[in-house]
Chains A and B, each alone.
Chain A
Amino acid sequence: MNLGIQSYCTFNSKGIFKNGKPIILNQNLSFNDFALKVYKQFEIGYSKYHKMDNLCKLALLTSEFLLDNGQVLVDTPSSEVAIILGNSSSSIVSDTIHQTSMDELPSPAVFVYTLPNIMIGEMCIKYKITGENSCFQMKDFDTSFLNQYVSYLFDKEKYTYCITGWVDFDGEDYQAHLFLISNENKDTISIFNDKIKNLI
């Protein structure tokens, strides 16, 4: 099987970059301010976005650019797409908010975000993805493990696409690197077997 990276997208404190080229640069805005600016400027128009925590907002906005607002997946059956992500800080952003409120009045709207795989759930809802979805906790972005695991999934379960990469929000720093892996080599930017890390 010829796996290729069809597109890739990075979102960090410097801005958002797709396939290595800047989409929008961040001039020292906080994540909240910058994310809202991006949401408005690119007319994301997705009401569920506003109830998400920062980890999910980061994952969703990065996915929006990776997938051209979901257009890329429109012709693919929902069960033929998988999402396999790595993350280090789990859901610490929402964990900390829940922790400080749990003695008084904990909010169910916060509590439901205290799991790292919720960001994958939000991506699945937005893009109607029903294939395998897993969230691996790693100290650092372990590209060789993800490469190996995703290649195996394509081989075994015959996926058409897999979204893989890293989305982490530790309270101050944040990083998202998402890759759309395809089993067709059309529009391939690079062979998946090349170290993903070279692209970051």
Chain B
Amino acid sequence: MKIFTISDNIISPLGSTTEANVLAIGNGQSGITKINNPELSNDFFYGAKINYDLPSIDEYTFLENLLINSIEQALSSVDVDLNRTILVLSSTKGNIEQLNDKEKGKRIKLAEMAEAINEYFHLKHSPIVVSNACISGVSAILVARNLIEMGAYDHAIVSGGDILSKFTLSGFNSLKAVSESPCKPYDIRRDGISLGEGVGTIVISNDEKLKGDKMAYSEIIGGGQSNDANHISGPSRTGAGLNLAVTKSFKASGIHANQIDYINAHGTATLYNDEMESIAFDDLGLGKAPVNSLKGYFGHTLGAAGIIESILTIRQLNANQLMKSEGFNQLGVSRKISVIEKTKKKNIDIALKTVSGFGGCNAAIIFKKA
């Protein structure tokens, strides 16, 4: 069975449509700014925060309103039978800011949040929620694809989001993992992540006639997930786990490393993550494939990252245009990888998207021009 991506939406500091995000990146804009906000941190920090208003409904939280807006937009360009559609949500912390609430917080449990969104769209089937740390977004797309392949549904709305909260910011600060400037993936001067907030939605289907926006269209030809079995918060030193996930995705798609035209990597800009990825890509024979990280534009959006970055992987594929890896100047990883230094044209037929996260998990997904 062939499974396609047919429609999408991104809401980020760079804009509330995918097109606005693509345009801003093309203009060299980044969503990461210096933020002075005592509700988030006593000191200033660099992060990517949405600072414009969107239509919102009072009874829903900020994150739920973002998800509703995003799903509404993604559904507006395709005509899917909602009776045959499943909602798959990905998030790491959901409505975590509600834990702060003196009264009982609203829908702190991710399953409750998903049900509220599901009810808003009058979907018949119970939603599925994936919470696999930083790989959640790609996991959710792969789970949705599996559910369609199993024959349980024909279409899936895959939506992921996380907000910039004091909870995550203070935590990553305690790990000394936050960069003192906008993050610089793969660069020699990289010193950690920038956190971001955003939501991404991708609609997938087994019906290729349902193509919405042709720039959102691709075939998902394979994927794979793995665990490092090494450390809960540090990336593996060998890249073996990421290597396994990518190898599984090659096997599932029936392709070889030399067929990969472009890699959208995780590239968080921590010393160890980027180094680990360089080892895995080099070992896989992918050292010459052009690679970028989009974290320099969005920061790390946690549960949304895998979806937002998959959408932009597909957009680059269809535009035959590679985006500059924002924040990169000079290679600062031990293995030779081909980081994209400036936006350029290139024919892309097959693209690989990878993610790695806390808990030692890794995921890879392969998109093909369709």
Q: Which A residues have a C-beta under 8 Å from some C-beta of B?
A: 78-79, 83, 88-90, 92, 95-96, 98-99, 102-103, 106-108, 111-112, 114-118, 120-122, 124-125, 127-139, 142, 145, 148-149, 152-153, 156-157
Contact = CB atoms under 8 A, between A and B. Distances in A.
Given A99-B99, A125-B232, A108 B175 contact: yes
A66 B126 CA distance: 30
Contacts of A125: 229-232, 360
A135 B129 CA distance: 9
Interface in B51-99: 92-94, 96, 99
Contacts of B358: 112, 115, 117-118, 121
Contacts of A132: 224-226
Contact of B96 (A95, A106, A108, A117): A95
A17 B277 CA distance: 42
B284 interface: no
Interface in B95-114: 96, 99-100, 108-112, 114
B226 A79 contact: yes
B175 A111 contact: yes
Interface in B111-135: 111-112, 114-115, 126, 128-133
A102 B171 contact: yes
B295 interface: no
Given A108-B175, A133-B225, A121 B361 contact: yes
B244 A134 contact: no
> Which of A95, A122, A129, A134 gathers most chain B CB within 10 Å?
A134
Contacts of A138: 111, 129
Contact residues on B (Cβ < 8 Å of other chain), bracket? 35 or more
Nearest to A170: B109
B131 A107 contact: no
Nearest to B231: A125
A99 B172 CA distance: 13
Contacts of B226: 79, 130-133
A130 B241 CA distance: 7
Contact of B109 (A124, A130, A137): A137
Given A117-B131, A121-B232, A131-B227, 20 more contacts: A78-B229, A79-B226, A98-B170, A99-B99, A102-B167, A102-B170, A108-B176, A117-B133, A120-B359, A121-B227, A121-B359, A125-B232, A125-B360, A130-B227, A136-B130, A137-B110, A137-B131, A149-B146, A152-B149, A152-B150
B114 A137 contact: yes
Please list the 6 inter-chain residue pairs (A to B) with the smallest Cβ-Cβ separation, ordered nearest first: A121-B359, A111-B171, A137-B129, A137-B110, A102-B170, A124-B227
A118 B359 contact: yes
Contact of B361 (A79, A117, A136, A142): A117
A89 B350 CA distance: 39
Contacts of A145: 128
A124 B240 CA distance: 14
A106 B100 CA distance: 15
Contacts of B224: 132
Contacts of B359: 115, 117-118, 120-121, 124, 133
A157 to B, nearest CB: 7
Nearest to B90: A137
A116 B131 contact: yes
Contact of A106 (B152, B173, B225, B241): B173
Nearest to A107: B174
Contacts of B147: 149
Given A112-B232, A125-B360, A137-B109, A152 B129 contact: no
B227 A89 contact: no
Interface string B135-165: 0000100010011011010000000000000
